[in-house]
Amino acid sequence: MSSKRLSSAEELEELRKEILAKRDPAKPVITICTGTACQTYGSLKIYQAFADEIKKQGLEGSAVEARPTGCHGFCEQGPVVVIFPQEICYVQVKLEDVPEIVTRTLGRGEVIERLLYEDPVTGERIAKDPEIPFYKNQMRLVFGNNRHINPRDIDDYIALGGYAALSRALFQMTPERVLEEIKKSNLRGRGGGGFPTGIKWETTRNAPGEPKYVVVNCDEGDPGAYMDRSIMEGNPHGVLEGLIIGAHAIGSHEGFIYVRQEYPIAYENTIQAIKQAEEWGCLGENILGSGFDFEVRVHRGAGAFVSGESTALMSAIEGKVGEPKLKYIHTAVSGIKGRPSCLNNVETWANVPLIINKGADWFRSIGTDGSKGTKIFSLVGKVNNTGLVEVPMGMTLRQLIYDIGGGIPHGKKFKAVQTGGPSGGVIPEQHLDTPIDFDELTKLGSMMGSGGTVVMDEDTCMVDTARYFISFCCEESCGKCIPCREGLRMLREILTDICEGKGQEGDIKAIEDIAEVMQDASLCALGTTAANPALSTLRYFRDEYEAHIKEKCCPAKACKALTSYYIDPEKCTACRICFRNCPTEAIHGEKNIVHWIEQEKCIKCNSCFEVCPPRFSAVRRISGEPLPPPPAPGTEVIREKKR
Amino acid sequence: MTVTLQIDGKEVKARAGMTILEAAREAGMEIPALCYHDKLEPYGACRICSVEVERKGRVRIVVSCGYPVEEGLVVRTRSPRIDRIRKVLIELIAPTTMVDGEVSGEIKKLAKEYGADIHRFESRFRAATTRCILCGKCVRYCAEVVGEHAIGFVGRGIERRAVFFPEEARACLTCQACFNLCPTGKIPSETDFVVFDGFSIDDYLSGKS
């Protein structure tokens, strides 16, 4: 990258032409996902191996390019490698596959069958990534560029039309026009609340007091959610461009990007993006020669989930403890240092350039009446295809889980999907045809949230699920106000007791009392929503709570204290598999002799249940009923022919 | 500028910028609160002073110590919902402050008023009884009024504690302003010069810290 400050819209366009002129669309580019998930599989080494191999085979320079990119989304199958222009997608690529890919696919144009994605349902191998069901049913407006861009190289972003929206906003639109366009688009906050973005911008714009601040909230922390991380890591310029456009519309000249401590790659890529944008004149003083100044600083969090709450985040930026403040004036009016501060989530900012480029009408054409555009979800849990998916609003949960997620693994039954993270709730089977929409999900007692989507199958206990999320919030509450601190403490104790078979009469009433007081009286949104997982599981699975309390039975057979393992003497064939897999030597038996479990030694790790061959299915989980006695010592196996 | 609002059916005049709690108290009406102090910035941690406010037909629950008065605002300081909040909050903090099966002071008064069963969650409370409800009056008074930082918070969530920082305690021996602020009586009971978990001012002054 040569460095030269751009001082007009025309210069930006010329630069874009120059970059594109140097790029032959037919030239093979091999992109290697180096998002956090694929990096943990060693994708950086794979990238390096590609670069070395290309050099070794004399293909470097004009012939082939290896490019490290951000997250592609199909984390289940990482490390993911896509070869352009054919869009051949190789999954679970290993270091030793690299020379073969370079020789065969890049050199001779052959497709390596064994590295292709295999559809778990049809068994068919699929060569091109747009044809993989996981990708095919998505609409990747915000997230789609990730697979083309090296996040450390601004040229890649500019080549794809980057900063054109900024140039348009600065030179062809007034701040008022930009604001109108965002309002008209009906973009709503992607962080969870769904507040109309345009109205928030307008509030800050009209609020008295200077300077005004704009802030990116990248303190994503819901269990299992990593949408914002992947955008920030994979396409930091997209967020930055949105932020600058917002600043221009609001009349702000100073911004902050709050990146949580646990996202080192997002942090580094953001710093690098800011540096490059400043060098090119897309950020800093006199942006693109327009006379508009804007600077941005990155604030690194210190590891508190509650800092994602707006007043807490702003306290942290001020250098204080990241703790929510008592406020009845919105931060859009009085935020950082008491100044008007417009805070939006990463995904919200990343939508802004799209709306400016394609117009509010285009944006409004996607989605439902109340929720426009797309939403990125991190689809995790008991689902075949885990990863990040971007879908138009209005798609049903069933389509999301079955068409994209590929359904539930191992032929198990779907039980519920948890959306909205620890502030959200569970949605059961009967509501799976609900369209994804801010208001529809709220009606079901859950919420859109930032996009965490945890799929649960029949083996998941709903009381235990509530206990998990309540414990999470209990550890993440700041502890300032009584309802949140003491309410979560007590909910955790009660739920833990219920899961351990120590539930008491009156516990359900106590949970409801505490939960409702937390909703009514907590200081910030963490507290007012923290009891939702308990309330929503109670709403749909009250019978499970009652079974735990009254019958000491866990219907899902997941709560260890309420579940015992038993080998059915009539089905056991003494195959020795469970015996060999038991980590505590709790299983007794020998060849031809029916096996049995010594309950005192059993730690209920579930190994025997999992390894017992399905054709025997001799290991049973028993909950809420008495355990049958073990077989008499030396009972012989009943063989098929004897039956 | 004055604004007129209605508290429990009674018209109350207040200065703009006042909070509901201040306006109510000035009009001789009592709203209970544990973390409120007239010399300190509103903090909103105990939530006992929660009230219902109605504006344009929309009812919300807010804390009266922080919510500014507005023209035409209708405030209800008691209602089934508010009473339940106060009852459950007292039930939740009772085990923390209990000594020999009894709560004392302000907590005892509120428990009686709102029919709170102070033993409701006792068997499930498995943490140490600190006698501190983390209202932060001592911490904030020290910082905001005295201008020292001898007491502060450490930890997060249920691990949160108010602690004494001996190296900042230059003024403690003569100040002692926090002694009478504590709503549970923790500090006065321990201030025969024992301050916070077995550490006394004497220890500090004699260099044992």
Work out the average pLDDT over B69-76. 96
Work out the average pLDDT over B137-150. 92
A222 touches chain B (CB under 8 A): no
Please tell me whether residues A257 and A303 are part of one structural domain: yes
Evaluate whether residue B132 is within a structural domain: no
Please tell me whether residues B117 and B180 are part of one structural domain: no
Average pLDDT, chain A: 94
Q: What is the pLDDT of residue A471?
A: 96
Please tell me whether residues B97 and B61 are part of one structural domain: no
Please tell me whether residues A207 and A289 are part of one structural domain: yes
Work out the average pLDDT over B180-189. 74
Q: What's the 3-state SS for A498-525?
A: HHCCCCCCCHHHHHHHHHHHHHHHCCCH
Q: What is the pLDDT of residue B197?
A: 53
Please tell me whether residues B145 and B197 are part of one structural domain: yes
- Strands (E) in B47-183, as ranges, are 50-55, 58-63, 74-76, 151-154, 161-164
- B152: its two tokens: 């502060």
Evaluate whether residue B130 is within a structural domain: no
Please tell me whether residues A338 and A416 are part of one structural domain: no
pLDDT reading at A583 higher than 90: yes
Highest mean pLDDT among A61-75, A119-133, A569-583: A569-583
A488 touches chain B (CB under 8 A): yes
Handedness of CA A555, A464, A522, A195 (dihedral sign): negative
Using CA atoms, how far apart are residues A445 and B185, in angstroms rounded to an integer? 41
Inter-axis angle of helices A507-521 and A532-550, nearest 10: 170
Q: Are strands A29-33 and A65-69 parallel, antiparallel or unpaired?
A: parallel
Please tell me whether residues B17 and B72 are part of one structural domain: yes
Least CB-CB distance to B46: which of A474, A482, A516?
A: A482
Evaluate whether residue B34 is within a structural domain: yes
**Residues for chain B: how many in total?**
209
Least CB-CB distance to A493: which of B61, B126, B156?
A: B126
Share of chain A above pLDDT 70, in %: 99
Q: What is the pLDDT of residue A643?
A: 45
pLDDT reading at A313 higher than 50: yes
Work out the average pLDDT over A355-384. 96
Q: How confident is the model at residue A611 (pLDDT cuts 50, 70, 90)?
A: very high
B193 touches chain A (CB under 8 A): no
Using CA atoms, how far apart are residues A345 and A355, in angstroms rounded to an integer? 16
Please tell me whether residues A228 and A94 are part of one structural domain: no
Say whether B121 and A326 touch across the interface (CB within 8 A). no
B183 touches chain A (CB under 8 A): no
Please tell me whether residues B166 and B100 are part of one structural domain: no
Please tell me whether residues A404 and A336 are part of one structural domain: no
Contacts of B44 in chain A (CB under 8 A): 326, 481, 523
B17 touches chain A (CB under 8 A): no
Say whether A480 and B134 touch across the interface (CB within 8 A). yes
Q: What is the pLDDT of residues B117-133, one digit of tens each?
A: 999 999 999 988 888 89
CATH number assigned to the domain comprising residue A449? 3.10.20.600
Inter-residue contact B84 to A517 (CB < 8 Å): yes
When divided into structural domains, chain B yields a total of 3
Evaluate whether residue B99 is within a structural domain: yes
Q: What is the pLDDT of residue B167?
A: 72
Residues 6+ apart with CB under 8 A from A298: A256, A257, A259, A267, A270, A271, A274
Please tell me whether residues A275 and A396 are part of one structural domain: no
A153 touches chain B (CB under 8 A): no
Q: What is the pLDDT of residue B105?
A: 83
Inter-residue contact A15 to A154 (CB < 8 Å): no
Please tell me whether residues B27 and B67 are part of one structural domain: yes
Interface test mutation site (partner B, options A315, A486, A522, max chain B beta carbons within 10 A):
A486
Using CA atoms, how far apart are residues A422 and A445, in angstroms rounded to an integer? 13
Q: How confident is the model at residue B88 (pLDDT cuts 50, 70, 90)?
A: very high
Inter-residue contact A567 to A618 (CB < 8 Å): yes
Average pLDDT, chain B: 87
**Which long-range contacts does B150-157 make (Cβ < 8 Å, 24+ apart)?**
B151/B178, B153/A321, B155/A479, B156/A304, B156/A475, B156/A476, B156/A477, B156/A478, B156/A479, B157/A474, B157/A475, B157/A476, B157/A477, B157/A478, B157/A479, B157/A485, B157/A488
Q: Whole-angstrom distance between the N-terminal and C-terminal Cα of chain B?
A: 53
Interface test mutation site (partner A, options B50, B158, B159, max chain A beta carbons within 10 A):
B158
Evaluate whether residue B160 is within a structural domain: yes
Rg over CA atoms, chain A: 27
CA distances from B204 to A589, B146, B164, B194, B200 (A): 67, 19, 11, 10, 7
Please tell me whether residues A115 and A72 are part of one structural domain: yes
**Which long-range contacts does A90-98 make (Cβ < 8 Å, 24+ apart)?**
A90/A115, A90/A116, A91/A115, A91/A116, A91/A117, A93/A32, A93/A46, A94/A46, A95/A42, A95/A45, A95/A46, A95/A49, A98/A46, A98/A49, A98/A50, A98/A53
Q: Which helix (H) or strand (E) holds A563?
A: strand A563-567
Looking at residue A322, its amino acid is G
Say whether B125 and A483 touch across the interface (CB within 8 A). no
pLDDT reading at B206 higher than 70: no
Evaluate whether residue B182 is within a structural domain: yes
* Pairs across A and B, CB distance < 8 A: 101
CATH number assigned to the domain comprising residue A223? 3.40.50.11540
DSSP string, A534-545: HHHHHHHHHHHH
Using CA atoms, how far apart are residues A377 and A380, in angstroms rounded to an integer? 9
The candidate with the shortest Cα–Cα distance to A603, out of A625, A581, A624, is: A581
Work out the average pLDDT over A52-73. 88
Work out the average pLDDT over A255-263. 95
Inter-residue contact B5 to B12 (CB < 8 Å): yes
Q: How many CB atoms lie within 10 A of CB B132?
A: 22
Contacts of A549 in chain B (CB under 8 A): none
B160 touches chain A (CB under 8 A): yes
The candidate with the shortest Cα–Cα distance to A222, out of A194, A257, A258, A260, is: A260
A502 touches chain B (CB under 8 A): no
Distance from CA of B175 to the nearest CA of A (A): 26
Which range marks the domain in which residue B92 is found? 81-124
Using CA atoms, how far apart are residues A212 and A201, in angstroms rounded to an integer? 11
Please tell me whether residues A40 and A120 are part of one structural domain: yes
Evaluate whether residue B129 is within a structural domain: no
Please tell me whether residues B74 and B11 are part of one structural domain: yes
Inter-residue contact A124 to A118 (CB < 8 Å): yes
Handedness of CA A548, A554, A559, A560 (dihedral sign): positive
A514 touches chain B (CB under 8 A): yes
B132 touches chain A (CB under 8 A): no
pLDDT reading at B195 higher than 80: no
- B153: its two tokens: 């918070």
Using CA atoms, how far apart are residues A343 and A332, in angstroms rounded to an integer? 7
CATH number assigned to the domain comprising residue A511? 1.20.1440.230
Q: Whole-angstrom distance between the N-terminal and C-terminal Cα of chain A?
A: 78
Q: What is the pLDDT of residue B203?
A: 57
pLDDT reading at A112 higher than 90: yes
Widest distance between CA atoms in chain B: 62
Q: What is the pLDDT of residue B128?
A: 83
- A33: its two tokens: 């996902």
Evaluate whether residue A144 is within a structural domain: no
Evaluate whether residue B14 is within a structural domain: yes
Please tell me whether residues A85 and A170 are part of one structural domain: no
A521 touches chain B (CB under 8 A): yes
Work out the average pLDDT over A234-238. 97
Which range marks the domain in which residue A520 is found? 462-550
Say whether A475 and B157 touch across the interface (CB within 8 A). yes
Higher pLDDT among residues B152 and B61, named by residue = B61
pLDDT reading at A52 higher than 50: yes
Q: What is the pLDDT of residue A1?
A: 46
When divided into structural domains, chain A yields a total of 5
Q: How confident is the model at residue B165 (pLDDT cuts 50, 70, 90)?
A: confident
Contacts of A488 in chain B (CB under 8 A): 157-158
Evaluate whether residue A13 is within a structural domain: no
CA distances from B91 to A474, A534, B48, B125 (A): 18, 20, 12, 11
Give backbone dihedrals phi and psi of A177, rounded to 5 degrees, phi first. Answer: -65, -40
The candidate with the shortest Cα–Cα distance to A503, out of A513, A488, A491, A515, is: A491
Inter-residue contact A32 to A85 (CB < 8 Å): no
Using CA atoms, how far apart are residues A610 and B44, in angstroms rounded to an integer? 51
pLDDT reading at A412 higher than 90: yes
Please tell me whether residues B30 and B59 are part of one structural domain: yes
Q: What is the pLDDT of residues B153-163, one digit of tens each?
A: 988 999 998 88
Q: What is the pLDDT of residue A642?
A: 46
pLDDT reading at B22 higher than 60: yes
Q: What is the pLDDT of residue B199?
A: 55
User: Residues 69..108 of B with a Cβ closer than 8 Å to A: which?
Assistant: 81, 84-85, 88-89, 92-93, 96
Work out the average pLDDT over A140-149. 94
Evaluate whether residue A8 is within a structural domain: no
Examine the fold and report which residue of A457, A490, A505 is the final residue of a domain before the chain moves on.
A457
Please tell me whether residues A498 and A384 are part of one structural domain: no
Work out the average pLDDT over A348-364. 97
Q: What is the pLDDT of residue B180?
A: 82
Please tell me whether residues A120 and A241 are part of one structural domain: no
* A396 three-class SS: strand
Say whether A520 and B81 touch across the interface (CB within 8 A). yes
Give backbone dihedrals phi and psi of A503, rounded to 5 degrees, phi first. Answer: -65, 150
Q: What is the pLDDT of residues A186-205, one digit of tens each?
A: 999 998 889 999 999 999 99
Please tell me whether residues A614 and A527 are part of one structural domain: no
Q: How confident is the model at residue A641 (pLDDT cuts 50, 70, 90)?
A: low
Alpha helices by DSSP H, listed for A289-366, are: 310-317, 346-358, 360-364
Work out the average pLDDT over A208-226. 93
